[in-house]
Structure formats: C-alpha cells, structure tokens
Structure 1
C-alpha cells in the first residue's frame, strides 16, 4: 500500500477516482453547482492535499480531498453553509494570496471493494499527519453521515444522537469520534442545489405539478419545490467536526 497525491495519478487511477466519486454520492449531490464550479480548481491549486491510498495491484483503495484555508475564529462561528463555504473559502483564500493555517476535509471515500476494512481511519490518520507536517493549526470537516438518507425528514440535531446497542448509530459519525474528532455543531445549509422545475423533473424523473417536498434517493433531506415561482432547492445538513 502507498499514498499518492493528485499529481501522482496516472490515467488508470484517475479514472478509478472519478468513477468512485460518481458511485459514492447520489445524483442530487453530483449536480451541485458549487462542485461543478470549484472542483477543478481544488485539484489544480492543491494537488498535494488530495490524498490517495493505492494497493499493491495499483487499485484505488480510497482518497480524501482536503482544502487549505485560513481560520482564526472560534469553531462555533463556522458557517451554516458548511461544505459549500469550505471549498469556496479555500479557493478564495488561494486566489487572494491569503496564507492558510488550517485544513478542511471535503470528502473521504473508500472504494466498494475495500470498504469495512478500516481504511477510512487510515486516511484520517494520514490527513492528520499532513496537517502536522504543514504546521497548520486546525483540521475541520463538515461530515455527511452515511445512514441519514434513511431518515430524510428527521433534523440532523436529532439524528446525530440516535443510538444502537449503546453506541452512536451512524457508523460515519462513530468512525470520526473513534479517530479523535469532536463534534462542533450542525451546519444546516452545508450542501445546496437549486434549479428550475425542468431541472428537478430531470433529476427526479417525474412530472412535477404541485409545490411541496419531494424525496430523492440518497438525499439526506427533502427537496422543496415551488411550482408557482419555477424553483426548487435542496439544502443538506452536515455536521462540523474538529480534529484539533
């Protein structure tokens, strides 16, 4: 097993990386305007903080996308816009010449073949080492609990405390806590996708004739549709955590 950065990826690994992202997230997230606008710049500006774990057979085990930012305020003041804010902040800081002092985790993905074997904790440990090597102060992540999609109408503040057999029910929240993270707060507008009725009809594969809330596979929260104003919005709640 070895670790590579984005600059080290050959065409074969790059294809595995792209496919893994498409497999890991629901279509509503893949249609994020924020992702489409900023992701290529993330990889261009910060190749050395895009971390990839590779097997001896040149298979992609998993990866973590990280953006350097400057943050010197209390963690409780981290914005509700969570994930969207984090990638925009990193890009803006870089383009403005602002020196980072923190790392922000955007996503951790373990490919299907290697799931359930503890590799996500190894990626987290690697990211913490990168933070130390860079001399940065903070390591924050707006995490996306992996079973929340089963409870789309439950508020995150209630979901995150659900327990099973005396433990936090969600395995992704549990993984981070076991790795040393502390929960800061819910970020209620972390990932946001907007579009007209035609956009949502294509994504949901239905004809929308009335306003209301709609469910989409894999989404953590409902989509709100306003037919009169030809507008729909998806607001996803995540959870800010810190490894400092």
Structure 2
C-alpha cells in the first residue's frame, strides 16, 4: 500500500473517516486521567508537527500516531514515570526553554479493517522519521501492552518477561516495537492514573460496583480500586518503556 504522511492539523478530516479510524480505539476510562486533561491542549498546540496521519492513495486516513519532545539524558532511571509525566515534561520543558532531544511516542492507531498489514509499524516509522527531522536523537515509547488486559492480576514486572517459544514477546504491541529494533528499558507501573466517581466507573466499565474493593474491569491492564464511602474509583495503568534509538 502506497502511503502518504501528513500532519493531523494539515486539513479537516471527514467525520466518518475519523470515526472509522478510531472505532476500536482506547477504552472509555482512558479519558479520566486528570494530568492528561490539564496538559493535552498545550501538547496539541505546541507539538502539532509530531501528530501525524498516514493516508492511502485516495487521501483516506488509515493510521496515525503522535508524540511529544522531552529532554532526557538516556538513563532508564531518569525516564518520566510514564505517559502522563511525559506530557508534563514536554510542556514544562518548553515553558522553561529547555531544548528537547528525545521523542516520546505517545500513541499509534490503525483502521480496524486494515489491521495485520504492517500499518502500525509504518506509523511508528513515520514518527521516528519526524523525530529525526525535528533534531531529536532519541526515541522512546511507554508501550501499552494490549494482551496484559487478559492478565490484570499479574504484575507488569512479570508480564514483560513472558516470551513465546520463538523468543519474541507474548504481547503483539511489544513485538511490533521489537521488530523495528526497539528494546525494553523499564516498566512504568503507573504510567497513567485515572480517577472518577463510582457512577462514572460503572458507566465506563458497564459493571455494577456495589462495594469497596478491587475489580477486574474490561480492557483494564490492572485492577480498579473502589472506595464506596469516598465515592471514588482509582485505576493505575501500567506501561512498558521501550527505546527505539
């Protein structure tokens, strides 16, 4: 498939095309991250050159991805705590006048009808190319391992070690990054923290949450902790830090 890379803000995309592209996107509770809500506006305004769409021969978006630039010294122990902290570091770094040297790939998506054709890898490749054009020498990603949702009670430290018989990661999204040469650097046990009322969580998950305690939720990579008396549910999403270069 011949693809063209465009900035997402280059034009107005037909609503039906975006609906198709994002029809199998992230779970509803992913929007309950207060840190992301606070910083995402400035991220979209300031780092639009790192928010890309891949289009087919007819100009229809078939994949996309985005990231943020940060300053990082290359050591695993000085990485952001995960996705949310990457947004904070990017925005505050710009406000402080720090010159970034690293792209954090924050997400990538492929049209559901075209999965299995290598488009996710091409979206990651487009972001790596954009990093080079922006003068960012390092590329890392807090990867959301999709298969982890089948094992929400397993610590991310253990899950990340699981391998198939051929030595590849058991998780397909980690494998995609590995096929492009990325290596696992560290785990991010609380890459994002989502919080909401009990009623909100019942709406996001479709579950009744009748008492305080821990719940396994649809598409959750870890458990939801509910406090009925405080009327709050908190979910910490684990990711895996991977380095492309």
Q: TM-score, normalised by structure 2?
A: 0.90
Matching residue of 1:77:
78
| 3-state SS, counterpart of residue 180 of structure 1 | coil
CA contact (8 A) 1:52 1:64 kept: yes
| 3-state SS, counterpart of residue 62 of structure 1 | strand
| 3-state SS, counterpart of residue 163 of structure 1 | coil
CA 1:122–1:207: 2 relative to 1, 3 Å = closer
- Alpha-carbon distance, 1:56 to partner: 1.2
Matched ranges for 1:1-244 at <5 A: 1-12=3-14, 16-17=17-18, 20-21=21-22, 23-72=24-73, 74-79=75-80, 81-166=81-166, 167-244=168-245
Mind listing any 5+ residue stretches in structure 1 that lack a counterpart? none
Q: TM-score, normalised by structure 1?
A: 0.90
| Residues 164-211 of structure 1: per-residue CA shift (max 9 Å, x gap) | 332321111111111011111110110110123233233334443311
CA contact (8 A) 2:105 2:139 kept: yes
In terms of mean alpha carbon deviation, does 140-149 or 67-76 score higher? 67-76
Deviating above 6 A after TM superposition, structure 1's stretches of 4 or more consecutive aligned residues are none
CA 1:17–1:89: 2 relative to 1, 3 Å = farther
Instruction: Name the CA distance, whole Å, in 1 between partners of 2:67 and 2:137.
Output: 14
Mind listing any 5+ residue stretches in structure 2 that lack a counterpart? none
Instruction: Name the CA distance, whole Å, in 1 between partners of 2:103 and 2:242.
Output: 12
In terms of mean alpha carbon deviation, does 98-107 or 120-129 score higher? 120-129
Question: What's the Cα RMSD here?
Answer: 2.0
